């Protein structure tokens, strides 16, 4: 008998019919003798709808109140799923994050889980009940409702699996596993049987929203066996594993990630003296704005151009700050561009292969796509390009690194 945590995402509980289907599935697992804890998201579109309501009142909703509201989405689905299970004669009970006591810090809208009290859940499992827990939400030490950031139900699932020492955490969604890239953008993308935690972490942090990055961090840290599966189709899904593949066949690149969430800022004609990077980025970080990629050029007249990227949500504030900095340090101008996208190739195989980056640049050059910025780490290369070329770039790279599904090659 195994203890399994099963997380169902928004589309999988998007209608009452689907919730009934999920209940059927959970019932089958329960009847096979496994102990089951289910984590559910809000019905698809619900979290966005709730955020939209708040934004009708204020542009920047007050985080504490926003959390009180958006957490209701998951409260609805836990109750509906429990009812659907009970209707089928499966003993079940629903809990909000607060009722379990998923204790988090107080960073509203992006809280981190500190601890989970597993006493209630264990008692229910012992009594033969399926436990249905609301994803995405927790409670801080003062009793305030918190949420874990968009896509946070994945993290609830993995954190519960870690706390309960579950045999597996299964993330059920609307695709049948982790693909070489988003299958909605590249139909030739292939499902991966396995991917390492390290690669999945890079993929998630570089924009593949199939798993929330914190869920992968948790799974890696506590060594939780994690699998991504389709909610309503049978199949092995994708196992996220610690081992690097030993076979000779290991591809150099495991996947391609991309995101449209960043914006680029440039300050030109900066006097090139020691401390310049600090003068430019100090005020940005003081405003709590995270910087991702950075490029600095030295030009011939002893001035430098400096470019960096931030999240698009922070673009306006960052540009204001940079304009002030330009005036105070005597730079020529500060400008910005939101029409950019970041494309990254990821793979542990890169460690043992030379020339991966140049192969990437060659593929982009063949499509006449201009590279604006580059950053690399041991297992990834990222480039910033003009947003309108994003899909073309992802497809070209997918082909260049021989990731296209064999049956469809040349289509
Ligand atoms: P859920 O609501 O179940 O949490 P998400 O929308 O958060 O589902 O995540 C699943 C989606 O992630 C898929 O529909 C797919 O479009 C997208 N996705 C992005 N990159 C990948 C990838 N590499 N492999 C699989 N799916 C991906
Ligand atoms: N409902 C939340 C969201 O839409 C959490 C989740 O689905 O994982 O972000
Ligand atoms: Mg998700």
Task: Give the pLDDT confidence of 334-384 residue by residue, as tens digits.
Answer: 999 999 999 999 999 898 888 999 999 999 999 999 999 999 999 999 999
Q: How many whole angstroms from 73 Cα to the centroid of ligand 2?
A: 9
Cα separation, 239 vs 255, whole angstroms: 15
- What's the pLDDT score for residue 273? 86
Ligand closest in space to the Cα of 153:
2
Nearest Cα to Cα of residue 384 among 272, 265, 250: 265
Which atom of ligand 2 is least distant from the CA of 153?
8
Please indicate whether residue 232, judged by its CB atom, sits closer than 6 Å to ligand 1.
no
Quick one: pLDDT at residue 411?
A: 45
- The tokens describing 169, both together, are 């955490």
Rounded distance between C-alpha atoms, residue 311 and residue 290, angstroms: 7
**Residue 268 and residue 330: Cα distance in Å, rounded?**
10
Map residue 257 onto helix, strand or coil.
strand
Among the ranges given (41-45, 63-67, 241-245, 279-283), the one the predictor scored with the smallest mean pLDDT: 241-245
Check pocket membership of 255 for ligand 1, CB cut-off 6 A: yes
Task: Name the residue with the closest Cα to ligand 2, atom 8.
Answer: 151
Is the predicted pLDDT of residue 396 greater than 80, yes or no?
Answer: yes
- Rounded Cα distance between 369 and 389, Å, is 7
Classify 366 as helix, strand or coil.
helix
Q: What is the mean pLDDT of residues 142-146?
A: 98
Please report, for residues 52, 92, 214, 241, the alpha-carbon distance to residue 265 in angstroms, rounded to integers and kept in the order given: 28, 52, 27, 38
Structure tokens at 2: 């195994």
> Rounded CA gap, 328 and 283, in Å?
12
pLDDT of residue 409: 46
pLDDT at 298: 74
Return d(Cα 405, Cα 126) in angstroms, integer.
45
Strands 194-196 and 373-377: unpaired
**DSSP assignment string, 107-122:** -TTS--EEEE--HHHH
> What is the position in ligand 1's atom list of the atom closest to the CA of 9?
3
pLDDT in tens, 126-143: 999 999 999 999 999 999
For residue range 168-177, what is the model confidence (pLDDT) as tens digits?
A: 999 999 999 9
Q: Is 304 exposed, middle or buried (0-12, 13-18, 19+ CB in 10 A)?
A: buried
DSSP letters, 191-237, are B-SEEEHHHHHHHHHTT-TTS-HHHHHHHHHTT--EEEEESSS-S--
C-beta separation of 186 from 411 below 8 A: no
Whole-structure pTM value: 0.92
In the predicted model, is pLDDT for residue 248 greater than 60? no
Torsion of CA 93, 99, 100, 101, to 10 degrees: 180
For the segment 263-267, the average pLDDT, to the nearest whole number, is 97
């Amino acid at each position: 008998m195994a203890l399994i945590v099963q997380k169902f995402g928004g589309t999988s509980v998007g209608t009452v019919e689907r919730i009934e289907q999920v209940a059927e599935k959970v019932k089958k697992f329960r009847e096979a003798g496994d102990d089951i804890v289910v984590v559910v998201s809000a019905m698809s579109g619900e979290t966005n709808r709730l955020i939209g309501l708040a934004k009708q009142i204020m542009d920047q909703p007050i985080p504490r109140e926003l959390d009180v509201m958006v957490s209701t989405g998951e409260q609805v689905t836990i109750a509906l799923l429990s009812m659907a299970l009970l209707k089928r004669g499966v003993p079940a009970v629903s809990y909000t994050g607060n009722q379990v006591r998923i204790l988090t810090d107080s960073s509203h809208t992006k809280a981190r889980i500190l601890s989970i009290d597993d006493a209630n859940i264990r008692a229910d499992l012992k009594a033969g009940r399926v436990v249905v827990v609301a994803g995405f939400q927790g409670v801080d030490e003062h009793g305030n409702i918190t949420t874990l950031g968009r896509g946070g139900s994945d993290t609830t699932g993995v954190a519960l699996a870690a706390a309960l020492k579950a045999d597996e955490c299964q993330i059920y969604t609307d695709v049948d596993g982790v693909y070489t890239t988003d299958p909605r953008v590249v139909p030739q993308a292939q499902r991966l049987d396995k991917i390492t935690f390290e690669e999945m972490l890079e993929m998630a942090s570089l924009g593949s929203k199939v798993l929330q990055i914190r869920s992968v961090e948790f799974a890696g840290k506590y060594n939780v066996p994690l699998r991504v599966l389709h909610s309503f189709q049978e199949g092995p899904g994708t196992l996220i594993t610690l081992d690097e593949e030993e076979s000779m066949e290991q591809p150099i690149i495991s996947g391609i990630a991309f995101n449209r969430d960043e914006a680029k800022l440039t300050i030109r004609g900066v006097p090139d003296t020691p401390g310049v990077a600090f003068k430019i980025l100090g005020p940005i970080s003081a405003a709590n704005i995270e910087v991702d990629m950075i490029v600095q050029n030295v030009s011939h007249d002893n001035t430098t151009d400096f470019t960096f990227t931030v999240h698009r949500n922070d673009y306006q504030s960052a540009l204001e700050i940079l304009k002030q900095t330009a005036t105070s340090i005597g730079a020529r101008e500060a400008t910005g561009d939101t029409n950019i996208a970041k494309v990254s190739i990821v793979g542990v195989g890169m460690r043992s292969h030379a020339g991966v980056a140049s192969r990437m640049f060659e593929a982009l050059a063949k499509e006449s796509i201009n590279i604006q910025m580059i950053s690399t780490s041991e297992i990834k290369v990222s480039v910033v390009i003009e947003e309108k070329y994003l899909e073309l770039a992802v497809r070209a790279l997918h082909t260049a690194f021989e990731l296209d599904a064999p049956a469809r090659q040349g289509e």
